[in-house]
Amino acid sequence: MLKISAHKESFTSIKADVAIVFVINKNTKHKWIDQKFLHDLAYQHKSPVLHQQAKTLYIPLGSLEVDSMREAGATAVKTLKSYPFKSAKIGFYTLPKSSDTSIMAAFTLGALLGDYSFDTFLSKKQPSSLREILISLESYDTDSAGATKERVQDFSKQLDEIKIITKSVNITRDLVNTPPQIATPKYLANYAQDLIKGTNLSCKILKKQELKKEKMGAYLAVAKASSKSPRLIHLSYKPKNPQKKVVLVGKGLTYDSGGLSLKPSDYMTTMKADKSGGCAVLGIMLAAEKLGLPLEIHGIIGACENMIGGNAYKPDDVLISREGKSIEIGNTDAEGRLVLADCLSYAQDLDPDVLIDFATLTGACVVGLGEYTSGVMGYNQKLQLDFTQSALDSGELVAILPFNRHIKKLIESKIADVSNVSSSRYGGAISAGMFLGEFIRESYKDKWLHIDIAGPAFVAKEWDINPYGASGAGVRMGVRFLQDISKISKARKQ
C-alpha cells in the first residue's frame, strides 16, 4: 500500500524521486514551476505533464478546493503509475497562512483511493513503482515554526483517519469486484467472520433454517432458485456507554439475474455489484470500529442470489413478509426491496435510534440522478438534510428524492397489502423507496433513511477518484454521517 507521511521540512529540502506541483488556474508564476518549459510545450493545462529533467509532475488545477484536490490526488498517482519513481513529494505553496489542512487531507484521500486497482485475476499485473508520498507542511511566509509543528500534529491525526477510511473503501471495492462464482452469500459470511478477527466487532450468521424461523418469507423467496443458500450477516459493535444506537442494513445480492423476469444480457453484466450496499455496510462497520466511534452500531447484510429455475419465485406469487404484510410479485427483478423489507423488519427489533439502508435498488435512480449521485429518501426531512451534508462533506454526491402520497398509490395491489412494482413507469426510485417505507413501523419512520447507490456503486468509465469497477459508494458518506452524529450528541451532552 502507498505510504503517505507529513513533514515539517520545506518542500525543497525533502528528498524524493519526483515532485508533484500544481499549476492553479493556469498561473505558472511560482519558483517551483519552470515557466519556460511549460511555455515551450505550449501547455494547454488540460492533463498532467512530466518535466523529466526537473523531475517534476505538473498537475493543472482549476482552483484550490477540496473537491478538485481530491481528484488531483487520484490523478497524480494514476499518472505516476507509468513511471519508475518510488517516492514523490508535495508542498502546498498557495495555502493561505492560517489555512487548515483540509485540502491536504483531500489530496491524500484521493491518492489512496485513486491508487486502487483490482488485479487479482490478471496474469500480468502492472504494479505501480510509487511506494511513498511525502507531504511538506513547511512554514508559510511569516508562519512560525511552532505553527508548522502544530499543523503536522493536526494533520497526522487526520492522516490516521484517512488511512482507516480509504482502507475500508478499498476492502469494500475488493469484495464487490470479486466475481459472483466466488463471492457467494456463504463467501461473504466467511469473509466477514475472518475480517473481524482481532477487532471489537462480533458477527452472527443466520442460515436458511434460521431465516425460516424468523419468518422472512420475502427474503427466502428471492433466494429460492439459487444453489447458493442465503446468509444474513449481523455485525455488531458495542463500545461502552454508547451515545446512540445505529442500525445499518445493506442489500447483498451476490448476483441479480432478474430471476424469471430475466434481465437482458446487456443489463445483467455488472450485477455482481448488486451486493454493493451490503459490502458498504461491512466497510462502514470496519471503519467505525477502528475509529472507535462512541455509538452502538449494527450492520445487517441480506446476502443471497436472484436466479432462475423450476423452484424460482414467480410473478403472480404472493409472499408473506416478516412484518406480516403480504406482497404481490409483479416482477422478480424487483428483488432487492423484498430482501430489504425483511432485513429492515429484523433491524427494527434492535430498537435503533437511527436506521439506514444502503442498496443498489433501482435503475430508475441512475436515470433520474445520473451515475455519480446516490438518492436519499425517507420521511424525516431534517435527517435527510443532515445525511446529505455529511455525504457531500465526505466527497460523495447525493440528492434527496421526495416521497409523496400519489406515488404511494402506485404500489397498491388488489389482492395483497402491497405490490413489489409500481403501476407507473415513472418515479421508480421513489416507488421502490416507498415500498420499503411500508415495512417501517410508525415509531421508526422518523428514524429511517434509504440510500439508493445504484448509480455510483459500479464505475464503467473512471471518474473523480474512482478507477474502473466497484467504487465503494456509501462507505465515505456513512462513516462521515456516523462521525457527525457522534459529535452532535457529544456537544449536546456537554
Task: Tell me which residues touch ligand BES (CB under 6 A).
Answer: 256, 274, 331, 333-336, 360-364, 366, 421, 428, 454
Work out the burial of residue 124: count CB atoms within 10 Å of its CB; fewer than 13 is exposed, 13-18 middle, 19 or more buried.
exposed
**Member of 91, 110, 336, 472 binding Zn ion (CB under 5 A):** 336
Q: At what angle do helices 381-394 and 475-493 cross, to 10 degrees?
A: 120
Give min distance, CB of 7 to ligand BES, in A. 43
Binding mask 259-278 toward Zn ion (x if CB under 5 A, else -) reads ---------------x----
- Report how far apart the first and last C-alpha atoms of the chain are (Å, whole number): 40
Q: Which listed option, ligand BES, Zn ion, none, makes contact with residue 471 (CB within 5 to 8 Å by class)?
A: none
Give min distance, CB of 72 to ligand BES, in A. 29
Q: Which residue's C-beta sits nearest to ligand BES?
A: 363
Residues identified as active-site: 263, 337
Nearer to ligand BES, 319 or 454 (CB): 454
Q: Cα–Cα distances in Å, from 15 out to 97, 111, 156?
A: 24, 19, 20
Nearer to Zn ion, 274 or 342 (CB): 274
* Cα four-point dihedral sign 304, 306, 309, 312: positive
Q: What's phi and psi for 14, nearest 5 deg?
A: -75, 135
Q: Which listed option, ligand BES, Zn ion, none, makes contact with residue 152 (CB within 5 to 8 Å by class)?
A: none
Q: Which helix (H) or strand (E) holds 481?
A: helix 475-493
Longest dimension (CA), the chain: 77
Distance CA 209, CA 230 (A): 10
Q: Which listed option, Zn ion, ligand BES, none, makes contact with residue 384 (CB within 5 to 8 Å by class)?
A: none
Contact 318, 328 (CB under 8 A): yes
Nearer to Zn ion, 274 or 396 (CB): 274
Give min distance, CB of 353 to ligand BES, in A. 29
Please report whether residue 464 would count as binding Zn ion according to CB under 5 A: no
Binding mask 235-254 toward Zn ion (x if CB under 5 A, else -) reads ------------------x-
Q: Which three cell numbers stand for residue 41?
A: 510545450
Helix (H/G/I), strand (E/B), else coil: 326: strand
Q: Which listed option, Zn ion, ligand BES, none, makes contact with residue 452 (CB within 5 to 8 Å by class)?
A: none
Rg value, the chain, Cα: 24
Q: Which helix (H) or strand (E) holds 318?
A: strand 318-320
Q: Which listed option, ligand BES, Zn ion, none, makes contact with residue 242 (CB within 5 to 8 Å by class)?
A: none
Contact 446, 379 (CB under 8 A): yes
Give min distance, CB of 216 to ligand BES, in A. 18
> Closest by alpha carbon to 104, among 143, 157, 56, 35?
157
**Member of 256, 296, 396, 452 binding Zn ion (CB under 5 A):** 256
Contact 73, 123 (CB under 8 A): no
Q: Which listed option, Zn ion, ligand BES, none, makes contact with residue 260 (CB within 5 to 8 Å by class)?
A: none
**Member of 333, 342, 396, 452 binding Zn ion (CB under 5 A):** 333
Give min distance, CB of 333 to ligand BES, in A. 4
Contact 481, 386 (CB under 8 A): yes
Q: Cα–Cα distances in Å, from 220 out to 169, 210, 235, 327, 330?
A: 29, 11, 20, 13, 17
Give min distance, CB of 175 to Zn ion, in A. 17
Give min distance, CB of 222 to ligand BES, in A. 10
Nearer to ligand BES, 178 or 360 (CB): 360
- Distance from CA of residue 445 to its chain's centroid? 24
Give min distance, CB of 395 to ligand BES, in A. 21
Contact 149, 8 (CB under 8 A): yes
Nearer to ligand BES, 364 or 391 (CB): 364
Nearer to Zn ion, 91 or 259 (CB): 259
Q: At what angle do helices 276-291 and 185-195 cross, to 10 degrees?
A: 10
Q: Which listed option, ligand BES, Zn ion, none, makes contact with residue 421 (CB within 5 to 8 Å by class)?
A: ligand BES
Q: Which listed option, ligand BES, Zn ion, none, makes contact with residue 397 (CB within 5 to 8 Å by class)?
A: none
Q: Which three cell numbers stand for residue 85?
A: 519513481
Nearer to ligand BES, 283 or 336 (CB): 336
Nearer to ligand BES, 165 or 421 (CB): 421
* Site of interaction with Zn ion (CB under 5 A): 253, 256, 274, 333, 335-336
